[in-house]
Amino acid sequence: MQLFKEKKLSPREVAPLLWERVKRSDSSLHAYISLEGDFNTPVPLPEGPFRGIPIAVKDNICVKGRLTTCCSKILEGFRPPYHATAIERLLANGIFPFGRTNMDEFAFGSSTETSCYGITRNPWDKERIPGGSSGGSAAAVAADEAIWALGSDTGGSIRQPASLCGVVGLKPTYGRISRYGLIAFASSLDQIGPLTKDVEDAAILMNLIAGHDVMDSTSAHVALPDFRRSLRNDIRGLRIGVPEEHFTQGLDPEVEAPVREAIETLKRLGAKIQSVSLPHSQHAVAVYYIVAPAEASSNLARFDGVQYGFREEGVDLLSTYGITRAKGFGKEAKRRIMLGTYALSSGYYDAYYLKAMKVRTLIKKDFDEAFSSCDCLVGPVSPTAAFRIGEKLNDPLTMYLSDIYTIPANLAGIPAMSIPCGLTKGGLPVGLQLLAKPFAEETLFRVAYTFEQNTAFHERNL
């Protein structure tokens, strides 16, 4: 961006340079599953104020005519006949989708190990996972293989990989960004959001993609601020709460130390720090792994080999469904569809799904209470830094617990952001999570920007 301002580089020169860089470095990372065109023969670029600036896009966001597979065999060969609204809005500003980034199959995972295209490696340590499910987007931004990227967050899928790869990631308020063209995982939780190198870039992207859309009736009719105006280096007097439950069992001291230090920094910068309690947040993982698979089992019922993607024919239509889904879905996808189908099935609905929806109410009330005395909450994003490839893959429950601090924001629909706040002794990035009340992204931007302007974590190069 500095080079743009000094007019040493024009946006349209970026794509070919980026193409060269990705060609050189992505073979060892595998952040991308495909790239757009060959930039030696220039592609036609869309008009608009950001003309020619490329963006990396997670493989569950529809780009018209381009393979969009959620990294699942069941969507083999699927080319959507329309753009997602977020893509439409970026194109209208001249920003074009540069490549598809790797993800856990249907966003089911926290490590990007369940993709049908193979794993993505963490650019900070290639023996480790980049987080997930937007692991490809986070790794691409961290490794300078993308200027910025889009991801999606259902239980932490933007914030956790952003934290583990040392970049900025924002999950906006539910309803802030249209979900039209985002292939549904859990419709009451999913949100598209930006992964960027710094807070200002996240604000710029939000200005372009947020806002009501007639194509998504759950997108909210609320005033849309200019998010760049909230980039103020001043948090004096702001009331920041520290949820005590986010510092309990399972939090690695290597993660706790930089997070505590970051809270001290915020205090030094004039914020009023206070302890708050979210008593029901300890149940968030259980609630989430009932609600999200239940919604997923229903959303993924459409993948049956009839209308889209992959089909394996059996002796009749019924067996065609069974075999297509058996061969098309990976292990984790099957596990979640089974879990969700069970939780919704007759005789178990009350004990699981209805119970989970009631506890969801309590989790949301905890936040309402906390935000009656605080403007913003801060804590860790993930209980550990990036773990080793394969470490948690065969133990689903342990994998699920890596989202323990990110899931509550999705259940309550509130906005949450991860910003880099330090490193472990082993040199792995650690993120700080900021949470605010619904549609208060401006508070997140203000706190994140102030922290960024007074620290140097975001400038650290690999």
Partner 1 sequence: MIDLETVQYVATLARIHLEKEESETLTEQLSKILFYFESLKKINTDTIQPTSHVIFLQNVFREDTLKKSLTQEDVLAIAPKHQGPFIKVLRVIDTQGI
- Give residues in contact with partner 1 (CB under 8 A): 78-82, 174-175, 188, 214, 217-218, 220, 280, 283, 285-287, 289-290, 297, 301, 304-311, 313-323, 325-326, 329, 334-335, 337-339, 341-342, 345, 351-352, 354-362, 364, 396-397, 400, 411-413, 438
Q: Computed from CA positions of residues 143, 149, 152, 158, in that sequence, does the dihedral angle turn out positive or negative?
A: positive
Nearer to partner 1, 176 or 246 (CB): 176
Nearer to partner 1, 186 or 242 (CB): 186
Nearest distance from C-beta of residue 360 to partner 1, angstroms: 4
Nearer to partner 1, 273 or 344 (CB): 344
Nearest distance from C-beta of residue 451 to partner 1, angstroms: 27
Nearer to partner 1, 52 or 408 (CB): 408
Active site residue 10: no
Closest CA to 202 of 171, 163, 173: 171
Active site residue 157: yes
Question: What's 353's DSSP letter?
Answer: I
For 176, the 3-state DSSP assignment is coil
Nearest distance from C-beta of residue 75 to partner 1, angstroms: 10
Catalytically annotated residue among 111, 134, 152, 157: 157
Backbone angles phi, psi at 236, to 5 degrees: -60, 130
Catalytically annotated residue among 72, 110, 133, 219: 133
Spatial neighbors of 429 by CB under 8 A, at least 6 apart, are 124, 163, 164, 165, 166, 385, 386, 420, 422, 423
Neighbouring C-alpha atoms within 13 Å toward the C-beta of 38: 2
Nearer to partner 1, 321 or 449 (CB): 321
Catalytically annotated residue among 58, 73, 197, 392: 58
Nearest distance from C-beta of residue 396 to partner 1, angstroms: 6
Nearest distance from C-beta of residue 300 to partner 1, angstroms: 9
Q: Please name the residue that has the structure tokens 């259980």.
A: 286
Nearer to partner 1, 198 or 304 (CB): 304
Spatial neighbors of 439 by CB under 8 A, at least 6 apart, are 173, 176, 220, 222, 415
Q: Which two tokens stand for residue 7?
A: 């007019």
Question: What's 87's DSSP letter?
Answer: H
Question: What's 42's DSSP letter?
Answer: P
Find out whether 186 and 154 touch, Cβ atoms under 8 Å. Answer: yes
Active site residue 275: no
Sheet holding 96-101, edge to edge: 32-35, 96-101, 54-58, 148-153, 191-196, 168-171, 416-423, 429-435, 376-380, 239-243, 272-276
Nearest distance from C-beta of residue 286 to partner 1, angstroms: 5
For residue 133, cis peptide bond before it (omega within 30 degrees of 0): yes
Nearest distance from C-beta of residue 325 to partner 1, angstroms: 5
Nearest distance from C-beta of residue 131 to partner 1, angstroms: 21
Nearer to partner 1, 30 or 246 (CB): 246
Find out whether 386 and 128 touch, Cβ atoms under 8 Å. Answer: yes
Nearer to partner 1, 41 or 372 (CB): 372
Say if residue 260 is exposed, middle or buried (CB neighbours under 10 Å; 0-12, 13-18, 19+).
middle
Question: What's 399's DSSP letter?
Answer: H
Beta strands 272-276 and 239-243 are: parallel
Catalytic residues: 58, 133, 157
